[in-house]
């Protein structure tokens, strides 16, 4: 088996920095992707986004049916499957 040193494959960095990964990280707001602030003592992350006023809810996601939806006045995003859009596109309706 022949090995060519000039054809060394580099790690796929786009996967690590993609929007989906950042939405699911827990360190960023899934709606606007800004870093979540920390509390006054800088020991824990805040439970809401200061930038877009998004907050976690117990509503279920339409894509993965998990209660990991963050919403603000204008939109919503799921932290579990990285689904983002309007509230009606992300939040699962009441059971029929």
CB-neighbour burial class of residue 87 (10 A; exposed 0-12, middle 13-18, buried 19+): middle
Cα–Cα distances (Å) from 15 to 28, 35, 74, 76, in that order, read 16, 19, 28, 23
Give the per-residue pLDDT at 93.
Answer: 87
Per-residue confidence band for 4, with pLDDT thresholds at 50, 70 and 90: very low
Q: State the pTM of this model.
A: 0.76
Q: What is the pLDDT of residues 28-73, one digit of tens each?
A: 999 999 999 999 999 999 999 999 999 999 999 999 999 999 999 9
- How many CB atoms lie under 10 A from the CB of residue 13? 8
**Residue 71: which H helix or E strand, with range?**
strand 69-71
Which stretches of the chain are DSSP H helices? Answer: 13-16, 19-24, 87-90
């Amino acid at each position: 088996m022949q090995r060519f040193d000039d054809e060394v494959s580099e790690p796929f960095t786009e996967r690590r920095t993609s929007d989906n990964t950042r939405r699911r990280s827990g360190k960023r707001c899934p709606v606007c992707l800004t870093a979540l602030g920390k509390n006054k003592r800088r020991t824990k992350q805040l439970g809401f986004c200061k930038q877009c006023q998004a907050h976690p809810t117990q509503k279920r996601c339409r894509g993965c049916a998990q209660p990991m939806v963050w919403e603000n006045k204008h939109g919503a995003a799921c932290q579990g499957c990285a689904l983002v859009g309007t509230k009606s596109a992300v939040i699962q309706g009441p059971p029929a």
